[in-house]
Amino acid sequence: DWQDDIEREGHDFNRVGLFYGYDFQNGLSVSLEYAFEWQDHDEGDSDKFHYAGVGVNYSF
C-alpha cells in the first residue's frame, strides 16, 4: 500500500536521450532532441514513453 511509505513512489524510471544543436552564423540556431523513458512499477506493469522536440531560435 502506498500509504505505508509515502516517500516511495512505487516505481523506478530511467531515461536516455540525444540532443543536437547547431548555430548558424546569421543568429539562427536549431536543435533536435529525442528521449526514451521506461518506468517499472511495483505492481509488475511497465510504461514506455518517447519524447521528440525541435527548436528554432533567432537572436538579433
Largest CA distance in the chain: 58
Q: Please state, in angstroms and rounded to a whole number, the distance separating the CA atoms of residues 4 and 10.
A: 11
Burial of 35 (0-12, 13-18, 19+ CB in 10 A): middle
Identify the CA nearest to 21 among candidates 57, 51, 59, 60: 57
Residue pLDDT, tens place only, 15-56? 999 999 999 999 999 999 999 998 887 777 888 999 999 999
pLDDT at 52: 97
- Has residue 1 been placed in a domain? no
pLDDT class of 5 with cuts at 50, 70, 90: low
Q: Name the more confident of 4 and 46.
A: 46
- Has residue 6 been placed in a domain? no
What is the arithmetic mean of pLDDT over 2-21?
Answer: 75
- Has residue 19 been placed in a domain? yes
Which domain covers residue 31, as residue numbers?
Answer: 11-58
- Has residue 28 been placed in a domain? yes
**What total of structural domains would you count in the chain?**
1
- Has residue 4 been placed in a domain? no
C-alpha cell at 58: 533567432
- Has residue 46 been placed in a domain? yes
- Has residue 3 been placed in a domain? no
